[in-house]
């Protein structure tokens, strides 16, 4: 059956999903096929009965409910594609009961803590120091994703207009306003970058010590290293800084739709989770301050 291969091509060339997302879809669909073959002796298109058995089998083996939801989502999208092509009539995932999810609030760092750290910590004046500080500043001041930062180029910043041009998921472009302070840091970094790598023609903004484009694991390690100075929480990733950016904007009165546009979310539901953090903060203030709260 070529259906799965056609679906993957559809995700890559029509939906323009990232390689990382496509790989996740492929793995999920391959696991479903493998289960049907090993435990039922058949090769099956998405089938509600087999999907239920597959879910039960994986959860009993220790798969988290959140991962189970993602795999069901992959099968749902695949089934929608098959319906569109006339292969099946109904989506079998629609009748599968999903495991309950515990809502995890986005982890963020306090505005004062990260500000104090950025103002006081000595990153060093060499290329790595200036690069690393700029990486943290861009994450915290713009809320962009790790992949978006990695793919920034020399023309991403518009200095006269004080803007950052970002290419997000599915090649969707968005413009983010930036401060004069951040632009000054970018200008300083670019001068040192040019001085350090005189013969390198690459257009990528952030480079390794060898002049190569930075990569996901490296960016994660840089952020994780410096967030250890700021917080004791377990999660210390680039996404924590993205969450911090959104949470602080909301706490300062920014409209949810504006935050949605800045983050590059495709729908408002993805942005609304940050309202829970703000509500939890309000509850905490209330219980500390109101005489009748106890």
Mean pLDDT computed over 74-103? 90
Q: Residue 44: which CATH number?
A: 1.10.150.130
Among 95, 124, 144, give the residue marking a domain's end.
Answer: 95
Catalytic residue among 169, 174, 235, 276: 169
Q: Which domain holds residue 13?
A: 3-95
Assigned domain for 293 exists:
no
Do 75 and 132 lie in a common domain? no
Whether residues 48 and 122 share a domain: the answer is no
**Of 60, 95, 130, the domain-final residue:** 95
User: Mean pLDDT, to the nearest integer, of 24-45?
Assistant: 91
**What share of the chain has pLDDT > 70, as a percent?**
92
For residues 144 and 271, membership in a common domain is answered with yes
In a domain, 261, yes or no: yes
177 and 274, same domain (yes or no): yes
pLDDT in the model for residue 284:
53
**Distance separating alpha carbons of residues 222 and 2, to the nearest angstrom:** 42
Binned at pLDDT 50, 70 and 90, residue 154 comes out as very high
104 within some domain: no
Residue 101 falls inside a structural domain: no
Are both 175 and 120 inside the same structural domain?
yes
Three-state DSSP class for 174?
A: strand
Looking at the structure of the chain, the number of domains it has is: 2
Q: What pLDDT sits at residue 91?
A: 96
What count of other Cβ atoms lies within 10 Å of the Cβ of residue 20? 9
Q: Rounded to an integer, what is the distance from CA 5 to the centroid of its chain?
A: 26
Domain boundary among 42, 63, 95: 95
Counting Cβ atoms within 10 Å, is residue 54 exposed (0-12), middle (13-18) or buried (19+)?
Answer: buried
- For residue 93, CA distances in Å to 37, 42, 74, 90 come to 19, 19, 10, 9
Residue 268 within a domain? yes
81 belongs to a structural domain: yes
Active site residue 292: no
How far, rounded to the nearest angstrom, does the alpha carbon of residue 93 sit from its chain's CA centroid?
26
Q: Same domain, yes or no, for 73 and 144?
A: no
Is residue 105 a part of any domain in this protein?
Answer: no
| CA–CA gap between residue 292 and residue 171 (Å, rounded) | 52
Which is the catalytic residue, given 239, 243, 248, 260? 239
The CA-based diameter of the chain, rounded to the nearest angstrom, is 68
Q: In the annotation, is 274 catalytic? A: yes
Q: Cβ of 271: how many Cβ atoms within 10 Å?
A: 20
Which stretch of DSSP H or E encloses residue 176? Answer: strand 173-177
Tokens of residue 129, six digits: 């120091």
- Residue % of the chain over a pLDDT of 90: 68
pLDDT in tens, 222-255: 999 999 999 888 889 999 999 999 988 888 888 9
Claim to verify: residue 180 and residue 280 sit in the same structural domain: yes
Q: Does residue 288 register a pLDDT over 60?
A: no
Question: Active-site residue among 80, 145, 174, 235?
Answer: 145
CA distance 188 to 227: 23
Together in a domain, 170 and 59: no
Annotation marks residue 265 as catalytic: yes
What is the pLDDT at residue 22? 94
Please say if 239 is a catalytic residue. yes
Which of 130, 242, 243, 248 does the annotation list as catalytic? 242
Q: Are residues 226 and 281 in the same domain?
A: yes
Q: Does residue 160 sit in the same domain as residue 279? A: yes
Domain match, 68 and 124 both: no
The answer for residues whose C-beta is within 8 angstroms of residue 216's C-beta and 6 or more apart is 146, 147, 150
Amino acid 286: pLDDT: 44
- Asked if residue 102 is part of any domain, the answer here is no
């Amino acid at each position: 059956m070529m259906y799965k291969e056609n679906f993957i091509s559809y995700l890559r060339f029509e939906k323009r999903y990232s390689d990382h997302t496509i790989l996740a879809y492929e793995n999920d669909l391959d696991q479903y096929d493998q289960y049907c073959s090993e435990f039922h002796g058949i090769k099956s298109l998405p089938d509600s009965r087999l999907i239920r058995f597959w879910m039960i089998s994986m959860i009993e083996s220790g798969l988290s409910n959140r991962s189970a939801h993602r795999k069901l989502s992959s099968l749902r999208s695949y089934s929608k594609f098959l319906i569109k092509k006339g292969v099946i009539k109904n989506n079998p995932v629609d009748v599968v009961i999903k495991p309950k999810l515990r809502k995890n609030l986005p982890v963020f760092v306090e505005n004062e803590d990260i500000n104090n750290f950025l103002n006081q910590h000595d990153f060093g004046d060499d290329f790595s120091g200036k690069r690393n500080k700029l990486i943290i500043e861009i994450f915290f001041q713009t809320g962009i994703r790790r992949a978006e930062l990695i793919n920034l180029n020399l023309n991403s910043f518009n200095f006269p207009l004080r803007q950052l041009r970002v290419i997000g998921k599915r090649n969707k472009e968005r413009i983010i306003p930036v401060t004069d302070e951040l632009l000054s840091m970018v200008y300083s970094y670019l001068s040192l970058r040019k001085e350090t790598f005189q013969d390198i023609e690459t257009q990528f903004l952030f480079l390794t010590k060898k002049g190569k484009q930075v990569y996901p694991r490296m960016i994660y390690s840089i952020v994780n290293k410096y967030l250890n100075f700021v917080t004791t929480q377990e999660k210390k990733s680039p996404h924590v800084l993205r969450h911090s950016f959104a949470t602080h904007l909301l706490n300062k009165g920014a409209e949810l739709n504006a935050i949605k546009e800045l983050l590059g979310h495709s729908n408002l539901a993805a942005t609304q989770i940050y309202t829970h953090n703000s509500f939890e903060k309000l509850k905490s203030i209330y219980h500390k301050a109101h005489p009748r709260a106890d």
